[in-house]
Amino acid sequence: MKKFLIAPSILSADFFRLGQEIQSVLDAGADMIHFDVMDGFYVPNLTFGPLVLHALRKNNITATIDVHLMANPSDKLIMDFIYSGADYITLHVDSTNHLDQKISLIKDNGCKAGIAFNPATSIFCLDYIIEKIDLILLMSVNPGLGGQKFINSILKKIVLVNKIIKKFNKRILLQIDGGINLKNIQDIALAGADTFVIGSSIFNSCNYVNIISEFRKKLNLI
């Protein structure tokens, strides 16, 4: 049976109680934490940086943390997140002119590398870098804001990327981010995704155990 991973996006968490919120979703059965980094340039919003991740690690958050850089990724920013305890660092393919170089920097420093595609971004570059990466993130909303509606045309993109991953016979997570809920998660999984970034649907619920359990039930039917 295919293993599905649930990755709550802390963009939708209560920032005042961030550490407690993260521990609560992990206790409720989340597999990893999705750490959305926005720099105010690549996307208009500004969120959190490496010091927040460092504080979480210092306070015994040991789960896998997947850092999603919605940012123009300088070498220093990448290294700061690696030193702060990131497990994965994911870059947007259109955020840098030196994507291969940045992926190598991540991998050479012991971290797993991912690449992200916005809804209208072509996947043409995959053939040239797929041997180096560990995760492919397909945005199913436009980046920068939580709570957006899932863009249904992304289902076709998931199918295409899943075929490419299978062709290369490489273990790569196929992650989807944006607008995932109980009504559409099965369709997303059937298209080929295995990792689900879920923000509002989890953090806006009154019971994290129940909502994550409901997502698991939907996935277990596949």
Helix (H) or strand (E) run with residue 25 in it: helix 18-27
Q: 39, 134, 177, 194: which one is catalytic?
A: 177
pTM, 2 dp: 0.96
187 is annotated as an active-site residue? no
Q: How far apart are CA 218 and CA 215, in angstroms?
A: 5
Residues in the chain where the model's pLDDT stays below 70: 1, 146-147
Q: 36, 39, 66, 134: which one is catalytic?
A: 36
39 is annotated as an active-site residue? no
- The two counts, helices (H) then strands (E), for the chain are 9, 8
pLDDT at 81: 98
Q: How far apart are CA 54 and CA 58, in angstroms?
A: 6
